[in-house]
Structure 1
Amino acid sequence: MPKPLNILLIEDDAIEVMKFNRVLASMELSHKIVEANNGEEAIEVLKDREIIPDIIILDLNMPKINGIEFLGILKEDDVLKYIPAIILTTSNNHKDVMECYRLGIAGYIIKPLKYEDYVTRIKKLIEYWSTNELISQ
């Protein structure tokens, strides 16, 4: 049975945040989204441990601490390293993809240009993690 997710969205582009929120609002379940504009803000959110997200969705190209640097910090934490981190980015650079998987990401999604394709990808992503056994535990 699908369950609502606590999602940490790390994205510095306000339009991308609005698109993501719009897709989630159109879905059946009421997912809780916590937003961070960059890796530095996300680390502060996670340090509080007030809300431990079920999944983290992040962009690679961000100011202050970029996505790869954030993943390195996340994966060093004995509690937080098990949170599935999914990259949602425009970068299709093979080096970035391989480095992210080396660091232990749960997925890498390239943002499509067409909004309809974006909606499809985000819905599939959220539907998968809403029913994943790791999350339901």
Structure 2
Amino acid sequence: MEILLVEDNEGDIRLTQEAFRESKVWNHLHVVKDGLEAIAFLKKEGTHVNAVRPDLILLDLNLPKRNGIEVLQEIKNDDKLKRIPVLVLTSSEAERDIVGSYNLHANCFITKPLDLNDFLQLVQAIEDFWLTIVKLPRE
């Protein structure tokens, strides 16, 4: 499984990396730290010319350079990218962010838990569902 984490918070990046490192399913977690880099990675532009196509995207909404809603919109409007499942994983609980994400066809909206153990359990639940149960499309 190739997973793209779009996250600018170093602490959340480390937690996510650690949680997936303990995974039962082989995976490779790629990390980009802003919206512009996410689009470059997905479109294999610039320094990401050799990037792999992710099987799953974990997308924060509060990103520098280009916010998560803009990134989600670009992904879902691109015929080559729109079938990649996008899990919005953010600190926001705002109804406008939830509705906006689903209006742009996010596959789910998850508010990041503040507690470390809850965060680790969340990543485990993502793994259990998205990496072992769900059948994901290939390119």
Structure-1-length-normalised TM-score? 0.91
Matched residue, 1:89: 90
Q: Does the 8 Å contact 1:129/1:135 carry over to 2?
A: no
Residue 7 of structure 1 and its aligned partner are, at CA, apart by: 0.3
Residue deviations 1:79-131 (CA, integer Å, cap 9, x gap):
10110000111100001000000000011111111111111111111121112
| Amino acid paired to 1:25 | R
Give the gaps of 5 or more residues in structure 2.
Answer: 45-49
Identical positions, percent: 35
| Amino acid paired to 2:8 | D
Residue 135 of structure 1 and its aligned partner are, at CA, apart by: 4.6
Q: Does the 8 Å contact 1:75/1:81 carry over to 2?
A: yes
Matched residue, 1:127: 128
SS at match of 1:29: coil
Select the structure that is richer in helix.
1
1:33 equivalenced with 2:29 (yes/no): yes
Matched residue, 1:52: 53
Matched residue, 2:74: 73
Give 1:23's match in structure 2, choosing from 11, 19, 40.
Answer: 19
| Alignment partners' CA distance in 2, 1:122 and 1:37 | 19
| Alignment partners' CA distance in 2, 1:135 and 1:126 | 16
Q: Does the 8 Å contact 2:25/2:131 carry over to 1?
A: no
Structure-2-length-normalised TM-score? 0.90
SS at match of 2:109: strand
| Amino acid paired to 1:45 | F
Q: Does the 8 Å contact 1:7/1:34 carry over to 2?
A: yes
| Alignment partners' CA distance in 1, 2:135 and 2:12 | 28
| Alignment partners' CA distance in 1, 2:111 and 2:68 | 14
Give the gaps of 5 or more residues in structure 1.
Answer: none
Q: Does the 8 Å contact 1:54/1:84 carry over to 2?
A: yes
Q: Which runs of 4+ in 1 moved over 2 A?
A: 134-137
Matched residue, 2:5: 9
| Amino acid paired to 1:24 | F
| Alignment partners' CA distance in 2, 1:125 and 1:50 | 23
SS at match of 1:82: coil
